[in-house]
């Protein structure tokens, strides 16, 4: 039951059925910044080395998360807890879902070297973040 939910989210993001988050629009990384989902929100230092992804649940609700590659399986993240996906190879997608229906999530990403910390928040209005794309160049996109 959990895997179809993750698969549906990836397909929706891939097919453009969701509105991407414009995380960097308020603090553009360069003068040439053009708002849009095609802009990375962060970048790991060395994409040829394994990446560690740390999730922090700030939602007040239990979550589930997993990589679309299947590495690490689908995991649950209790309220207020942190979870770590180590030795992640790029490219890969990270999906995070609330265990309750109709919950909208927002991701804030901070990177230190090859460690990406993802703070997960619940939002009441607006678009919901569906997936994080860690591409082969080390760029991280939020859809």
The model's pLDDT over 10-44, given as tens digits with 9 standing for 90+, comes to 555 544 444 444 444 455 555 666 667 678 999 99
> CATH number of the domain at 2-22+41-142, please?
2.60.40
Q: Give the per-residue pLDDT at 19.
A: 41
d(CA 17, CA 86): 30
d(CA 61, CA 80): 8
Residue 120: closest CA among 37, 61, 51:
61
Cβ–Cβ under 8 Å, residues 112 and 40: no
For residue range 58-87, list pLDDT tens digits in order.
Answer: 999 999 999 999 999 999 999 999 999 999
For residue range 79-134, list pLDDT tens digits in order.
Answer: 999 999 999 999 999 999 999 999 999 999 999 999 999 999 999 988 888 899 99
- In a 13 Å sphere around the CA of 123, the CA atoms on its Cβ side amount to 14
Domains of the chain by residue range: 2-22+41-142
């Amino acid at each position: 039951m959990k895997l179809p939910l993750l698969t549906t989210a990836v397909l929706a993001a891939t097919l453009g059925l969701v509105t991407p988050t414009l995380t960097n629009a308020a603090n553009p990384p360069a003068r040439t910044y053009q708002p849009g989902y095609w802009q990375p929100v962060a970048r790991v230092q060395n994409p040829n080395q394994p990446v560690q992804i740390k999730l922090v649940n700030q939602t007040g609700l239990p979550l589930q998360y997993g990589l679309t590659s299947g590495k690490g399986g689908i995991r649950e993240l209790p309220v207020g807890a942190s979870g770590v996906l180590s030795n992640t190879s790029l490219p890969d997608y990270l999906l995070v879902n609330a265990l309750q229906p109709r919950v909208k999530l927002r991701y804030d990403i901070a990177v230190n070297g090859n460690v990406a910390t993802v703070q997960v928040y619940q939002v009441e209005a607006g678009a919901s973040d569906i997936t994080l794309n860690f591409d082969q160049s080390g760029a991280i996109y939020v859809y």
